Structure 1
Amino acid sequence: MQKAGLLFGACAQTWKSMRMASSSVARRNPLENKVALVTASTEGIGFAIARRLAQDGAHVVLSSRKQQKVDKAVAELQREGLSVTGTVCHVGKAEDRQRLVATAVNLHGGVDILVSNAAVNPFFGDVVDVTEEMWDKILGINVTATALMTTAVVPEMEKRGGGSVVIVASIGAYNMTSGMVPYNVSKTALLGLTKSLAVELAPRNIRVNCLAPGLIKTSFSRSLWEDQATLEKLKAAMQIKRIGKPEDCAGIVSFLCSEDASYITGETVVVAGGMPSRL
């Protein structure tokens, strides 16, 4: 009887160890064999997200408007042993969006994840000086192209039983910065787009969530952190008194794309050091 008890205890311990080992492997590779597209991902937040998704096991397809940037980013991540490829994609062009999706399908057999990060902000100044062409460009790239990029991956995600979309907005969707009216409006629109797409795509088992970064040290936000007076003013509004890093955003996106977030859709996660975010 004692031997049987000891044997049972040993078996139970072995089974527990196997389960813990399996769980550990799963958590080390929460996106194993997933295929991810990340737009505007050769530098800054997009690059950090692409790296993290690949580190977590995904096959990642990078994209940018310039081939030189794509080649440089892909080479850097491949040197790290990550499964990364890339292609040129101007998200405002239908043929480029189609090519990005086709690249993932041809190389990896489908698409599981889309991170829509591409955005422009070519205007800073008085709202009365914003031309119609400028409004069209900012809303076209930041909002319309995001919607069209998302719908382009839906058929491929459906073939694989579902997927996850993360749209990158901005703290500017909540805290309106003077001189950036079209950009602020476009980012606020992405909050609504996220909720609308989440409702529409839920029956297809596709989750849609949003990331709203605060002041992150990238070339895109250079005008805000290079000037010390502006930087100190912005830091005063934060609970965490430092400028953010692209990597501060990457783990959140990986989580939202993983099974750990399988019951989350239509939500926006603000990563802004505690800066107030109320519409």
Structure 2
Amino acid sequence: MDLSSLFSLNNKVALITGASKGIGLSIAEFFAAAGAKVVICSRHQEHLDEIAKKLYEKGYDIMGIACNVGRPNELVQLVEKTIEAYGQIDILVNNAGTNPYMGPVHETTLELFDKIMDVNVKAPFELSKLCLPHLRKSSQASIINISSIGALSPEPQLGIYSVSKSALHSLTKVCAKEWGQQKIRVNAICPGIIKTNFSKALWGNDQIMDVIMKRLAIKRLGKTEEIAALALFLASPAASYISGSIFTVDGGFTS
């Protein structure tokens, strides 16, 4: 058996949101190393251009397209520009997320609620729909939603963020069931405490980390590469019979 082809993304095009840093950037590098052409998106074009240039120098085929995923019209442009550049979309990674508030759920304003839902739920919903006509044409179509362990067990001070990620789980399963006959697989990954700027409010707080470390089976923070490795598996032919599944990568935190 040729295991190299089992994890190959040769001749595939991947679109990854929130990919200028952290988990999204690691996924982009893993996909590109596996042979994919990769479109990375975030809100700032200059930063994307710098990243794309560095990765191009490594021999990767990567381009950056600025997009605020909370704005539906920009999602339309993101898909159109991706098709203009590469002519296809085989893999979509809905990684962009936001959590502008930490505190009691009853103190979450409607404005913050809407912002969280717009980015964490509505954007993956809308972008998946926009990519659907192109994914239908792929022989290896895969959607990967980046969720959170907060969706499985809401964490203190992260109430509505946890709610949004729980909704993303339902969206994952709904799309997997409805689009399976079109040979489109849809799965979600729930990272634990990964050392990124996004989660710094947690790992940067000694009191919170004391509590977290007591629950971890593997007594350390996770690495972005450890999320990217699972994403590569789910995007590859190796995961051809996996859809509608929710995977945790959390060092045993939820075990």
Relative to its length, the structure with more helix (as a share) is 1
Measured against the shorter chain, the TM-score band is over 0.9
Distance 1:118 1:237 in 2: 27
Using the alignment, how far apart are the partners of 2:193 and 2:56 within structure 1?
Answer: 29
What TM-score, normalized by structure 1, do the two folds share?
A: 0.88
Match of 1:104 in 2: 82
Residue 72 of structure 1: which of 46, 50, 53 is its match? 50
1:92-114 deviation per Cα after TM superposition (whole angstroms, max 9, x unaligned) = 22221122212221121100000
After the TM superposition, which residues 162-201 of structure 1 pair with which residues of structure 2 at under 5 Å, given as runs? 163-201=141-179
CA distance in 1, matches of 2:138, 2:151: 33
Q: Bigger CA drift: 139-148 or 73-82? A: 73-82
Over alpha carbons, which structure has the higher Rg? 1
| CA deviation profile, 1:241-264 (whole Å, cap 9, x unmatched) | 100010010010010011110100
199, 202, 226: which one pairs with 1:221? 199
SS at match of 1:160: coil
CA distance in structure 2 between the partners assigned to 1:224 and 1:114 by the alignment:
28
**Where do 5+ consecutive residues of structure 2 fail to align?**
none
For the residue of structure 1 that corresponds to 2:143, the secondary structure is strand
Identity within the alignment, %: 39
Per-residue deviation at 1:231? 1.6
Check the 8 A contact 1:238/1:275 in 2, yes or no: yes
- Give SS of 1:42's match: coil
Question: What is residue 54 of structure 1 aligned with on the other side?
Answer: 32
Stretches of structure 1 lacking an aligned partner (at least 5 in a row): 1-19
Shift of 1:162: 5.5
Q: Which residue of 1 aligns with 2:238?
A: 260
- Secondary structure, aligned partner of 2:130: helix
Which region of structure 1 is more displaced relative to structure 2, 205-214 or 103-112?
A: 103-112
* Map 1:7-26 → 2, pairs under 5 A: 23=2, 25-26=4-5
State how far apart, in whole Å, the 2-side matches of 1:258 and 1:77 are: 21
Q: Note if contact 2:38-2:61 (Cα within 8 Å) is conserved in structure 1.
A: yes
TM-score after normalising by structure 2: 0.96
Give the CA deviation at 1:160. Answer: 2.9
> For the residues of structure 1 that align with 2:148 and 2:138, how far apart are their CA atoms?
30
How far has the Cα of 1:236 moved from its partner? 1.4
**In structure 2, what is the Cα distance between the partners aligned to 1:256 and 1:265?**
9
- Give the root-mean-square deviation of aligned CA atoms: 1.4
Is the Cα–Cα contact under 8 Å of residues 192 and 253 in structure 2 kept in the other structure? yes
Deviations 1:189-215 (A, max 9, x none): 111111011011112111000000000
The 1-side partners of 2:77 and 2:137 are apart by 18
Letter in 2 for 1:142: N
> Is the 1:162–1:204 contact (alpha carbons within 8 Å) kept by the matching residues of 2?
no
CA deviations over 1:116-145 (Å, ceiling 9, x no partner): 001110111122211111111111110011
SS of the residue aligned with 2:136?
A: helix
Q: CA deviation at 1:24?
A: 5.2
Work out the CA distance in 1 between the residues paired with 2:171 and 2:216.
Answer: 27
